[in-house]
Amino acid sequence: MFPTRFVHLEEARRRFGIRVDRLGSFLGAGDPLADAAVEVLAGRSSEERERWVDQALTGDVASLPAELRTLRAALSELPFWADLDRARRGGEVLLRTGFFGGLVLGFRSLVAGYCSPAGNKPLVFSGRLREAAPRRLSETGRFVSLVYRPGSLAPGAPGWVAAARVRLMHAQIRRLLRGSPRWDAPAWGEPINQVDMAGTTLLFSLVLVDGLRMLGFRIDREDCEDVLHLWRIGGWVLGVEPELLGATEPESRVLWELLEATQEAPDADSAALAQALIESPLHEARSPEERARAERFLPVAYGIGRHLVGDRYADALGYPRTPWRFVAPALRTIISGTGRLVGRIPGVDRLALEAGLRYWKRTVEVGLAGEEARFEIPGRVGRA
């Protein structure tokens, strides 16, 4: 018996066959290795939790509980298929898009994730939707920018450590929500289950690439599959079941289409999360001048957002039909034309890569106000 969130099954079975029921079985699956690891952290102070996690990922694990040693051992060798050179190329594809990659990450990838009315509940239950939106975006930017960097997913490297920490953070949230009377397991399945985790890797890879293509970036299948390989490794470190990590663009697209086909329409929480994200500059403004600029930009943000998520989602999320929605198609023409011209200039890829690295470094620094995004293991789930 599947959770009630899994809908339109007969129609989906006609399109996708037996894969529908196989996917449905993962709605009740967590991450046993990480789940066992966070159990041994229960009851510890936040300082001790963080010390043990740091030691488990970067230090000598001999004195740690067996569950943490087992997790470290499992993560210490990447799978045979993992190709870090190919992952580097995938990261460079995304880094070269600079500001536009950040735009698509925020206005398409994250919003598409919010559109899952069951998948968004762990985030909703964390509380402070409006206040936390800028910090949440900056922490996500920090995470993906670490993953993009060359060699960053090698065991012990910064992206690998960040992904392993996020894996433990998810496991702790899962543990806390399992014990919460607010969690409706018959409706939503396991908190942060395998289906939702697999969907997240697609948000950062296939969905992001599609959004960049919508803005006029020329990303061919080989480049797209390098990006997918980057996040195939990232997803493995995050604890996603290997069979849910697509190796090719058609394979990944089938999974994404199946995920969309079997979820309900965006709900009020979806709309609240999207609004908090898009309007975060307005609420973060520190002066009348900043607020005025944010107010002027807001129709543009909604217009570009509508283009990137499409009318079906945009209408469900309550996006206004601002005339600025026509900016994005015009932008596509400019980016596409410019890309054809500058692509012939020697060294332009290297310059774009350097600019992309600077963009992500600056964006994350500003968003986090100089603080470190440590992806700490939470001690509680906030109030919605």
Q: What is the pLDDT of residues 218-256, one digit of tens each?
A: 999 999 999 999 999 999 999 999 999 999 999 999 999
With the C-alpha atoms ordered 72, 73, 77, 80, is the resulting torsion angle positive or negative?
A: negative
Structure tokens at 137: 């975006």
Nearest to 304 by CA among 104, 105, 113, 110: 104
Q: Write down the pLDDT at residue 282.
A: 80
Confidence of residue 349 (pLDDT cuts 50, 70, 90): low
Find the angle CA(170)-CA(246)-CA(110) to the nearest 5 degrees.
50
- Report the alpha-carbon distance of residue 305 to residue 215 in Å, rounded: 12
The whole-angstrom separation of Cα 352 and Cα 349 is: 5
Q: Render 344-370 in DSSP notation, one character per residue.
A: TSTTHHHHHHHHHHHHHHHHHHHHTTT
Q: List phi, psi (to 5°) of 225.
A: -75, -25
187 or 279: which carries more pLDDT confidence?
187
Q: Is the pLDDT of residue 66 over 90?
A: yes
Which band of pLDDT confidence, cut at 50, 70 and 90, is reported for residue 60?
Answer: very high
Percent pLDDT > 90 in the chain is: 67
Mean pLDDT of 134-144: 82
pLDDT mean over 336-348 = 49
Cα gap 117→275, rounded to integer Å = 15
Q: Where are the domains of the chain?
A: 9-30+77-265+346-367
Q: Let me know: does 157 contact 147? Beta carbons within 8 Å.
A: no
**Is pLDDT at 343 greater than 50 in this prediction?**
no
Please tell me the number of Cα atoms within 13 Å of 361 on its side-chain side: 7
Q: Are 208 and 94 in contact (CB under 8 A)?
A: yes
**Alpha-carbon Rg of the chain, whole angstroms?**
20
The percent of residues above 70 in pLDDT, for the chain, comes to 87
Which one, of 120, 121, 118, 124, lies nearest residue 4 by Cα?
118
pLDDT at 285 over 90: no
**Predicted confidence band of residue 363 (pLDDT cuts 50, 70, 90):** low
Q: Are the CB atoms for 39 and 47 separated by under 8 Å? A: no
Local structure of 243: helix, strand or coil: helix
Average pLDDT of the segment spanning 63-92: 97
Q: How far apart are CA 173 and CA 126, in angstroms?
A: 9
